[in-house]
Each structure stands twice: as C-alpha cells, then as structure tokens.
C-alpha cells in the first residue's frame, strides 16, 4: 500500500487526504441524518395526537426530551398559534429553510470531492507520463517492460481518483435524496399539526 502511494507521487498523497475528508463527511452525515434523530418517532406521534390546546404542554415536554429539527419546527408553530394560520405557516417555512441548510451541511464538500478527485488523478497521471517520457528522451527506450511499468505507475493516480470519487458521488446522491425526503415528511407533520390546531380554534 505504501509503495502504491509513494509511486504515485505528491498528487497521490493529496488524493489520500481528499479521501480521508470524504470518509469523515460521509460518516458524520450518516450519523446526523438518521431518521429517528431528525424525526423522533415519539415526537411525531405526540404531534399527531395534539389536537386540543390542552395537549400542547405534553407536546412541549416531548420536544424537550427530543431536541431535533422537527422539534424546532413544532416549537415555532406552537409559539405563533395566536397568529393567523398563513402567517404561522410562513414562519415555519422560514425556519424549515434554516433546518434544511443544517441537514445539507457538509454535502457541498462531497460535491467538490466528486468533481476534483478524477481531475487530480488525471493531473497525477499526466505528471507521471511527462516525467517518464522526459527520462526516455535522454536515455532512450532500451527496456519495454520498464516503459510499461512506468506507464502503469502513472495510471495509479487516475485509479485512485476514481476510487475516491465514485463512493463520494453515491453518498452525495443518497444524502441529498434523504434530506429531501426528511424535509417533505417534516412539512407534512407540521401541516397536519396546524390543521388540527386551527380547526380546534375555529370550533371554539
């Protein structure tokens, strides 16, 4: 492994650092975007059964036990129940945009890795080939096996770039879709909560 990295030159070590960053982001986002961490089941159930004003304190207690993006959205909704429904909905949407941005934190790093890793690999390969053929220009081609070995070493960085980029692309696509799904689910829960509360107010 060490020989593989060393043979690739300085670009290979840059790709190694890039891969470490990508793995760290993938693991961190994987933990942060767990469904029960963003939308706790107990909080979702409590919101569903909060249909009267008397139920609000119980929902607030559940929110305190489960701090999460959904908790913060429901807190905004509770704090503005004295507002007209449309204004309350607008305030939730504003807060939701902030929460989605937090959920997407770090995904831009994966996007950058997906773009630059193959390019860095290509740069490393071109650098290796230029060095190889420059040496052949002065020494001449006397050993075809040495030439083939030199070319294979130069291609190592391209391989490494693709090894880094492909998992990063998969993770980036998966997490983007998951954030979208979580956002839609939170919107649905908050919309149902508002309908319950304002229906109760209209009856009063």
Highest averaged pLDDT of the listed ranges 11-15, 32-36, 139-143: 32-36
Cα gap 157→15, rounded to integer Å: 8
Q: Which domain holds residue 28?
A: 2-199
Has residue 115 been placed in a domain? yes
In a domain, 204, yes or no: no
Task: State the total domains in the chain.
Answer: 1
pTM of the predicted model as reported, rounded to 2 decimal places:
0.86
- Mean pLDDT over each residue of the chain, to the nearest integer: 88
Q: Using pLDDT thresholds of 50, 70 and 90, give the confidence band for residue 73.
A: very high
Average pLDDT over residues 23-38: 96
Query: Looking at the predicted structure, is the pLDDT value of residue 201 above 70?
Result: no
79 Cβ contact partners less than 8 Å away, ≥ 6 residues apart = none
Query: 154 versus 192: which is more confidently predicted?
Result: 192
Tokens of 95: 């807060």
For residue 138, give both structure tokens: 């002065």
User: Does residue 183 lie in a domain region?
Assistant: yes
* pLDDT attached to residue 11: 83
Residue 7 lies in a domain: yes
**Paired tokens of 160:** 């490494």
What's residue 164's pLDDT?
A: 95
Percent of the chain with pLDDT over 90: 64
Q: Is residue 155 part of a domain?
A: yes
Q: Are 148 and 136 in contact (CB under 8 A)?
A: no
> Average pLDDT for residues 42-67, to the nearest whole number?
91
- pLDDT band at residue 154 under the 50/70/90 scheme: confident
State the pLDDT at residue 136.
65
Please state, in angstroms and rounded to a whole number, the distance separating the CA atoms of residues 196 and 194. Answer: 5
With a cut of 60, say whether residue 204 has pLDDT above it.
no
Output the CA–CA distances (angstroms, integers) from residue 65 to 54, 80, 164, 188, 199, in the order listed.
Answer: 19, 21, 39, 22, 27
């Amino acid at each position: 492994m060490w020989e593989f990295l060393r043979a690739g030159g300085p670009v290979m070590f840059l790709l190694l650092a890039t891969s470490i960053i990508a793995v760290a982001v993938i693991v961190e986002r994987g933990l942060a975007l767990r469904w029960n961490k963003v939308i706790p089941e107990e909080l979702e159930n409590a919101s569903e059964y909060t249909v009267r004003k008397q139920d609000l304190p119980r929902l607030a207690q559940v929110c305190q036990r489960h701090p999460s993006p959904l908790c913060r959205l429901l807190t905004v909704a509770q704090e503005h129940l004295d507002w007209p429904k449309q204004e309350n909905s607008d305030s939730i949407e504003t807060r939701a945009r902030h929460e989605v941005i937090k959920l997407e934190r770090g995904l831009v790093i994966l996007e950058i890795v997906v773009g630059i890793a193959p390019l860095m690999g290509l740069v490393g390969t071109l650098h290796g080939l230029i060095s190889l053929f420059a040496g052949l220009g002065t020494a001449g081609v006397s050993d075809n096996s040495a030439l083939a070995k030199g070319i294979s070493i130069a291609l190592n960085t391209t391989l490494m770039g693709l090894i880094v980029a492909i998992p990063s692309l998969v993770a980036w696509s998966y997490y983007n879709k998951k954030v979208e799904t979580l956002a839609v689910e939170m919107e649905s829960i908050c919309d149902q909560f508002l309908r319950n509360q304002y229906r109760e107010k209209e009856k009063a």
